[in-house]
Amino acid sequence: MTTTFKYYFLIGLAFSLVKVNHAVGQNSDVMKNSQTTKTTMKVWTQDEANVKATIEHFLKVAGNYDLDAMEKMMASNANVGIARLQDGKWISETMLFTDYVEAAKGKTNRPYYEPVRNYTIHVSDGHLAFVKADAVLHAFGVPLLHNIDYFTLIKENEVWKFINISFTSTRIPEAERIYDPIVFSKSYAQAWCSQNPDFVALFYIENGSLNINNGNASVGRTAIAKDAKAFMDAFPDDMIVAFDSLVKTSKGTEFHWTLTGTTTGLNGTGKKVNISGFELWQLDDKGLIKESKGTFDAEEYSRQIKYGSDN
């Protein structure tokens, strides 16, 4: 295993050493799904917009360690390069993407979320794309690394594929590692899209609890992962949980979400579902979930499973 990937696999461990300030609701009672850092406003061409969407999808599946999805986005012999600052010295490394996959298989990984603050995109004659993305890698709402990502893509059969992924990486200073509740919420939603129920459970404290529609509470990460798996199994191909907003109330913090997907799992009906709801959170002093009470319209959910969201 390369030193680069040891570094990333240990990101989650570093989180346990981070002292964070819980800031839910300090700035606004309602925090909607918008970038917490300003992004450059730009009108993209169709090719530029497609390239940007491809990169954002890649960063999402990479944060979920969905190796199969990542491989499908690569051109033949795609490679990875990294230059990172460690102990005052820059260390560089290159490898084939296939080597990255082999290094990642079987390892204990933790989810991360890497929003891009600014894009520079150049498309050459509609066939090659060169992208610089200024991004910050977060673990459970805490910024850990400042990455400048460089992507080279080629259009194959009208689909953009990665030829090269390279980046420089520097650690965020300890004083700037401040918990962001919006980023935590987006990360949590991303984990629900991962088909890895253990990733969802990691957003809870060890003995945290999840209660869905006033049913029996699932206590502990193993039980919470089992609840998450039930939804993932029902929507194995295309389940998306989107973060809508956070609302601070006297009872706690409401995480509002919308789930979309197709019921293609075991005994599925093949119908499309589009349902919204919220979780009422109690958080600990590090911003992890102590208790979640989920609420959605179960009758409407059952109706859509039978007839579809369009009927």
Please state the rounded mean pLDDT for residues 139-148.
98
pLDDT at residue 41 in the model: 66
Enumerate residues 6+ apart whose C-beta is below 8 A from 139: 11, 12, 14, 15, 110, 111, 112, 113
> What does residue 162 show for φ and ψ, rounded to 5 degrees?
-85, 130
> What does residue 66 show for φ and ψ, rounded to 5 degrees?
-85, 85
- 243 vs 107: which has the higher pLDDT: 243
pLDDT at residue 24 in the model: 43
Report whether pLDDT(9) > 70: no
Rounded to 10 deg, the angle between the 181-192 and 46-63 helix axes is 80
pLDDT at residue 65 in the model: 94
| Per-residue pLDDT reduced to its tens digit, 13-44 | 333 333 344 444 444 456 666 444 444 568 99
Domains delineated in the chain:
3-9+38-176 (3.10.450.50), 195-307 (3.10.450.50)
Of 278, 227, 235, 239, nearest in space to 257 by CA: 278
Q: Is 68 exposed, middle or buried (0-12, 13-18, 19+ CB in 10 A)?
A: exposed
| Per-residue pLDDT reduced to its tens digit, 54-106 | 999 999 999 999 999 999 999 999 999 999 888 889 999 999 999 989 988 87
Q: Cα(139)–Cα(149) distance, rounded to whole angstroms?
A: 18
Q: To the nearest 10°, report the CA torsion of 285, 202, 228, 67.
A: 140
Please state the rounded mean pLDDT for residues 160-172.
96
Q: Cα(70)–Cα(143) distance, rounded to whole angstroms?
A: 23
| Per-residue pLDDT reduced to its tens digit, 188-202 | 999 999 999 999 999
pLDDT at residue 300 in the model: 98
| Per-residue pLDDT reduced to its tens digit, 201-224 | 999 999 999 999 999 999 999 999
